[in-house]
Structure 1
Amino acid sequence: MKSLTLDQLKALAQQTSSPSISIFLPTHRAGQDTQQDPIRFKNLLRDAEKQLLGSGMGPREASTLLQPAQALLDDPGFWNHQQDGLAVFMAVDDFHYHQLPFSVEELLIISQAYYVKPVLPLFTNNGHYYILALSQDEVRLFEGTRYAVGQIDLPEKTPVSMEAALRLDDKQKQLQVHTGTSQSGAGHGMFHGQGPGEEENKVLIEQYLNLVDTGLKEIFREQQAPLVLAGVDYLLPIYHKVSEYANIMKEGITGSPEHLRPEELQEQAWPIVESYFQQETKNAVEQYQQFVSTEQATDKVGKIVAAAFNGRVDKLLLSVDAQVWGNFNPETEKVTQNADRQSKQSNLALLDFAAMKTLQNGGAVYTLPQDEMPTDSPVAAVFRY
């Protein structure tokens, strides 16, 4: 799964070439619908070409810009191995695509910057989480939302098993940790075998999980999303001990995860993170309400966009139901707005821009339905200072 990471989102935010094309497509994992996905993508590319030509771009220039995306149409393997959604970003000399663990609405946006609002559930603090399924024979990492889950390719240096991590010799392999089942159904570790002893085996497991944690830093760097562990009960406290990731949920999914499908892991993980998300969102809303009568919080779009640009936004509350188009001059920090309508003069998605800058500068973003926002405005923010 070629998932979108926070570092990659930050790189997308740095792209300044206009026009910037963003395409979103719901995709299918299996079945006959997979045959329709490239057809719908082809139609979106045709629409993009029409818009580019209509804006005054020459046919050859438009064809060159769209060529990397056109090439995906000739790759059957690409379309046969999709997740639930696809995001494609392209500009001059810049092309990226990312599979998504949740469905998105079919959408084409051509503007002066990449449009990322549909992928924000991957990075908001009230819906995006990870599941790490651990055993001595297998390591799997998933990222999920309330409604979907997808497996993430492990970074190259992340071990896929204890044997691969420690390159156990024959003598060490004689000492194994097997999983028994108590009457309650929870797994527990039973150490046995001819070898250096139970304590040494615990040390080997600790070394193995430490290597797993080190390998996953490439993905977890600067992340704040909660992580749910899945594994037999003797492994989970050891991973808690060795991991440097700050937001591991205390409660985990106990029992061997090796035969659990992603959807089964998600079903067990969501109740663990749901209350966490509800509390985090409640805290952010209450903090906004506490400071709204001061200079430390506002629901004014212009002030929020400028503050986000300067790294001042600590918490951003964003309506999932709205977008505000306009322009932003980074030299004067002047913001112009044109309600929810894109035009040649108003060609920047301001809420999108504020969200990207907030994430880029280490702030937290929360997405809410408009009727759950603490204000009639589609955006609200708490400032760092």
Structure 2
Amino acid sequence: MVADSFHTQPLRQFLQSVERYQVLALSLNKVQLFEGNRDSLEALSLASEVPRSSSDTSSDRQQTAHSSVSSYGGLGAGHSAMHHGQGGKKDGMDSEVERFFRAVDRAVQAHHSDVSGLPLMLAALPEHHHLFQAISHNPRLMKQGLHINPESLSPTELQQRAWAVAAPAQQAQQSAWCDDYTAAKAKGLGSDDLADVAHAATAGRVSTLLIEAGRLVAGRIDGTTGRIDYSELGYPRVDDVLDDLGTLVEKLGGQVHVLAAERMPTTTGVAASYRH
């Protein structure tokens, strides 16, 4: 297919958050990050800012003790130093763990989640899940996760268990998008008419666009008027209208998601929710 614009729909379908996800494999001894989909899960190179283990954030790197020395009546003959701890051993350990988790959360969000835009699944011991979820500020952290020491799993086991958790979450997200479209259309703020959607997209009115995966509509969209000039695929200067529509919506600040035909709420290849 010869065309002026680059055919991006297959790439968008591959990269969109509902199809891919990341896994933060977290223990006190090791931090790893993976990215994958239903078929694979591959380790990523961590940004240098991400702590590799709890020892990287240990207060022992900043001070050599947690106790202070006080004396009664002054230090001298007949007077002994009194050592007062700054909390029990368990309190100290809990503080160290929380410091470590906060550092991991900040760095992973800043250097990985915000960059990829993908949902993040936590794989950690059950006792670590509650704390990490409580302190995390990462909006992409999934509520669902793997409650197990990730170091006890082989790469294949981690991929299989992660997908078993991710798949239902992805299906729920797709259903939510479809429900949002149905609600918007009922209020007169949605359409599955391609010509209408193209005009709305050109005017910057489309907030969310659902596109049917693998569907091609030959033609071009006039970027000024939104008019569609239909043609046949294979002709020079002809592209896929749905692909160009998605690119236009994204450029003007809308969200675009590509769904399988059986998951789409319409049969026209598009479902758009409008801002106004």
Separation in structure 2 between the aligned mates of residue 172 and residue 121 of structure 1, nearest angstrom = 52
- Aligned residue for 1:292, secondary structure, equals helix
Residue 267 of structure 2: aligned partner? 376
Structure 1: which 5+ residue stretches go unaligned? 1-108, 174-194
2:12 matches 1:124: no
Residue 146 of structure 1: aligned partner? 38
Deviation string for 1:66-125 (max 9, x for gaps)?
A: xxxxxxxxxxxxxxxxxxxxxxxxxxxxxxxxxxxxxxxxxxx66423322222244435
Distance change (3 Å), C-alpha of 1:125 and 1:360? farther
Q: 1:266 aligns with which of 146, 159, 162?
A: 159
Alpha-carbon shift at residue 252 of structure 1 (Å): 2.0
Separation in structure 2 between the aligned mates of residue 224 and residue 144 of structure 1, nearest angstrom = 13
- Aligned residue for 2:151, secondary structure, equals coil
Distance change (3 Å), C-alpha of 1:295 and 1:336? farther
Alpha-carbon shift at residue 310 of structure 1 (Å): 4.8
Q: TM-score, normalised by structure 2?
A: 0.77
Distance change (3 Å), C-alpha of 1:139 and 1:328? same
Residue 350 of structure 1: aligned partner? 241
2:231 matches 1:338: yes
Separation in structure 2 between the aligned mates of residue 273 and residue 324 of structure 1, nearest angstrom = 32
Distance change (3 Å), C-alpha of 1:147 and 1:376? same
Separation in structure 2 between the aligned mates of residue 222 and residue 384 of structure 1, nearest angstrom = 26
Residue 299 of structure 1: aligned partner? 192
Q: How does 1:14-53 map to 2 (within 5 A)?
A: none
2:132 matches 1:239: yes
Q: Confirm or deny: 8 A CA contact 1:125 1:364 kept in the other structure.
A: no
Residue 69 of structure 2: aligned partner? none
Sequence identity (%): 24
Structure 2: which 5+ residue stretches go unaligned? 66-86
Q: 1:159 aligns with which of 38, 48, 51?
A: 51
Residue 324 of structure 1: aligned partner? 217
2:102 matches 1:210: yes
Q: Confirm or deny: 8 A CA contact 1:305 1:350 kept in the other structure.
A: no
Q: CA RMSD in A?
A: 3.1
| Matched residue count | 254
Q: Confirm or deny: 8 A CA contact 2:199 2:225 kept in the other structure.
A: no
- Aligned residue for 1:136, secondary structure, equals coil
Q: Confirm or deny: 8 A CA contact 1:151 1:262 kept in the other structure.
A: no
Q: How does 1:161-240 map to 2 (within 5 A)?
A: 161-166=53-58, 168-169=60-61, 197-216=89-108, 217-221=110-114, 225-240=118-133
Residue 281 of structure 1: aligned partner? 174
- Aligned residue for 1:343, secondary structure, equals coil
